[in-house]
Amino acid sequence: MTTNNNNHLSHFLRPEAIKAEGLSVSSNSQARIHYRLGKVYFDKADLLSAERCFLENLPMWTNPQDIFFIFKVLGFLVRIASEMLDAEKTERYVDEIEKLLEQVRSSAPQYLSAEFYYNQGIVQSYRSGLEQALTTFELAAQKAREEKSNEVLAKATHAMAMTSLNLKDLRSALTHLDQLALTLKELHKSYLDGTYHLLRANVYSELNEHQLAIKHYQESQKVLVEKGCWNLYGKILLGEGIIYKKTGEFNRAIFYFEMAQKSINPLVFKKLATQLENEIADVRGSNIDLVLDMTNRMIYEKNLGPIDFKHRFILLEILYLLIQNLGRYFNKEDLAKAIWKDEYNPLIHDKLIYTSVSRLRKLIEPKRNSRSYIIRGQNGYTFNPRRKVRLHRDNEIDKKTNTYGIELSSPV
């Protein structure tokens, strides 16, 4: 059904079809029609057709008069290449944007507008220069206010929120999102509305505000479904699955991850497919006794559920040390060096070690005064090798592929 609709729409929007109806089409109009067709394919998650359409569209624009349309087209191509994990294409498109930015700066200063600085910030975020990108986005927002351009203001504010999230400055991310919400009330851009809720949900997920995150994932899905946009559906399901993983509902998390897998073409949405595979591998197995999440400083015990260790740094470090070295006993000297980075002194460390292990046991043991996880023997402390435990690490695919800021959900 979707393919037939796309084919019909493709025919309707193509310049030759319009000419067949007896209408005249200027060169610029043809470029705009072709551009809109690429956006339709992009929204419908047909990234291969979108890529082909944008590549055909690129030479239709005149530089520098149409420079910002050229930036938009290259922006779509960057996002598609990144999602397909095609590093060579991604770098080539980013290089092209950088050359155009420099060309405008040196020979067409009349185009140094809010839109220009927004694109400059996007490129800086691609290159992982997040602090520099944030400053440039702030400049873009300032110029957008001067130019009374709410659309560019919304895009720049969205970018500031996303960059703050990547920098783990979550409170600043929420402040920018509050500002974005005010701008969107006047703008009425449904795709931006949808990505706003998705980004806010991702921030709440990092803050472990689970109910708020779920609420905004669902709101994002509602807005995008009403728009008929499906390219972010799998990412929304991924986010919801991560929430249920964080709350220890592993079977429910698996359900969402598998639903996301079924909603995408894994040969096209390669980045998302890899993230889903990693998450499923991380969660798989309902017989796990304890999951240690060092990134978010959380423990998930199968009977107790999630346990927050954010302000219990020493206890988390002790547990991490024991789990990383299953079967090995750590005596007082070992613990003093590994945890407190100090030479063992019985007057200082004996009480510290005893108190810390006692507090740790009270937190993670499902039964009071039990010793099912941390065992003490003649040679010191060890983690019970009969307990099934897993170390969770966040999905690092974006960092490994140097694609900070490149998301299908970020405005072009």
Q: Among residues 333, 334, 381, which one has the least CA distance to residue 357? A: 381
Dist. CA 307–CA 247, nearest whole Å: 9
Read off the pLDDT band of 333 (50, 70, 90): very high
Domain assignment present for 1: yes
Phi-psi region of 302 (alpha: psi -120 to 50; beta: other; left: phi over 0): alpha
Domain assignment present for 360: yes
Per-residue pLDDT tens digits for 284-324: 755 678 888 887 788 888 788 778 888 889 999 999 999 99
Domain assignment present for 198: no
Domain boundary among 112, 147, 176: 112
Quick one: what percent of the chain has pLDDT higher than 90? 64
Number of folded domains that form the chain: 2
User: Domain range holding 27?
Assistant: 1-112
Written as six digits, the tokens of 259 are: 């639903």
Q: Among residues 55, 131, 53, 42, which one has the least CA distance to residue 83? A: 42
**What is the CATH number for 366?**
1.10.10.10
**What is the CATH number for 16?**
1.25.40
Dist. CA 173–CA 206, nearest whole Å: 11
Per-residue pLDDT tens digits for 174-210: 999 999 999 999 888 889 999 999 999 999 999 989 9
Per-residue pLDDT tens digits for 366-409: 877 677 899 998 889 999 988 888 776 555 444 444 455 578 78
Over 90: is that where the pLDDT of 248 sits? no
Over 70: is that where the pLDDT of 26 sits? no
pLDDT of residue 395: 53
Return the exposure string of 108-143: e unless at least 16 CB atoms fall within 10 Å of the residue's CB, then b.
eeeeebbbbbbbbbbbbbbebbbeebbbbbbbbbeb
Dist. CA 318–CA 29, nearest whole Å: 65
pLDDT of residue 18: 38
Written as six digits, the tokens of 162 are: 């996303």
pTM over 0.85: no
Tokens 């009374």 identify what position? 148
Written as six digits, the tokens of 176 are: 């920018």
Domain assignment present for 76: yes
Query: At 199, which amino acid appears?
Result: L
Dist. CA 249–CA 257, nearest whole Å: 12
Read off the pLDDT band of 29 (50, 70, 90): confident
Q: Are 216 and 243 in contact (CB under 8 A)?
A: no
Domain assignment present for 314: yes
Read off the pLDDT band of 4 (50, 70, 90): very low
User: What value does the mean pLDDT take over residues 25-45?
Assistant: 86
Dist. CA 129–CA 139, nearest whole Å: 16
Q: Are 243 and 213 in contact (CB under 8 A)?
A: yes
> CA 222 → CA 86, 193, 217, 227, distances in Å?
31, 10, 9, 9
Read off the pLDDT band of 27 (50, 70, 90): low
Domain boundary among 79, 112, 145: 112
Domain assignment present for 321: yes
Domain assignment present for 36: yes
Residues 6+ apart with CB under 8 A from 129: none
Compute how many other C-beta atoms are within 10 angstroms of the C-beta atom of residue 202. 24
pLDDT of residue 16: 46
Domain boundary among 112, 135, 168: 112
Dist. CA 189–CA 52, nearest whole Å: 25
The DSSP secondary-structure symbol of 110 reads G
Compute how many other C-beta atoms are within 10 angstroms of the C-beta atom of residue 37. 23
Read off the pLDDT band of 344 (50, 70, 90): very high
Domain assignment present for 241: no
Dist. CA 311–CA 376, nearest whole Å: 25
